[in-house]
Chain A
Amino acid sequence: MLDLAKYQSIGAALKDALDQFANEICLIEADRERENERLTYRDFKDRALPLARTLQDANYRTADRAAMIMTNQSKWLISAYAIFFCGGVLVPLDFKLTPGEQWQLLTHSGAAVLITEYPIWRQLAASSGRADAKSLHTILVTEASPNADLAGARRWEAGQANKAAPTFVPRARNDLATIVYSSGTGGRPKGCMMTHENYLEQCVALTSLYPFAPGFRYLSILPTNHAIDFMVGFFGPFICGATVVHLRTLRPEFVRDAFAKYKITYVSVVPLVLKNLQKGLQARFDALPSGKRRIFNALVAVNKALTKSHPRLGLSRRLLKQVHVGFGGELRAIIVGGAFTEPQTLQFFYDLGIPVANGYGLTEAGTAITVNDLHPFRADTVGKPLPGMEVRVVDADKDGIGEVLVRSKTVMSGYLNEPELTAETIVDGWLKTGDLGRFDPAGHLQLFGRKKNMIVTEEGKNIYPEDIEAVFESLAVKEFCVFAANYIWPQRSMVGEQLVLVIHLEPGQTLTEELRKSIAQLNSRLLNYKRIHGIVVYQEDFPRTASLKIKRNVLAERLSKLDRAETVLPV
Chain B
Amino acid sequence: MRTIDQTTREILELAAKHFNVPAGTLAPDDDFFKKLGIDSLQTLELLSRIENHFNIELPDYEVQGVSDFRTLASRIQSRL
Contact = CB atoms under 8 A, between A and B. Distances in A.
A514 interface: no
B34 A272 contact: no
Interface string B28-44: 00010110000111001
Given A251-B44, A253-B48, A524 B34 contact: yes
B61 A71 contact: yes
A120 B62 CA distance: 10
A272 B39 contact: yes
Interface in A524-538: 524, 527-529, 531
Contacts of A528: 31, 33-34, 39-40, 67
Contacts of A273: 41
Interface string A244-271: 0000111111000000000000000000
A120 B60 CA distance: 12
B43 to A, nearest CB: 9
Contacts of B34: 524, 528, 531
Contacts of B67: 524, 527-528
A464 to B, nearest CB: 20
Contacts of B22: none
Interface in A226-249: 248-249
Contact count band on A: 20 to 34
Interface in B21-69: 31, 33-34, 39-41, 44-45, 47-48, 57, 59-62, 64-65, 67
A481 B34 CA distance: 22
A95 B62 CA distance: 12
Residue of B31, B39, B61 with highest tally of chain A CB at under 10 A: B61
Interface string B62-79: 101101000000000000
B57 A252 contact: no
B40 A459 contact: yes
10 contacts: A71-B61, A95-B61, A120-B61, A248-B59, A249-B59, A251-B47, A459-B39, A528-B33, A528-B39, A528-B40
Interface of B: 31, 33-34, 39-41, 44-45, 47-48, 57, 59-62, 64-65, 67
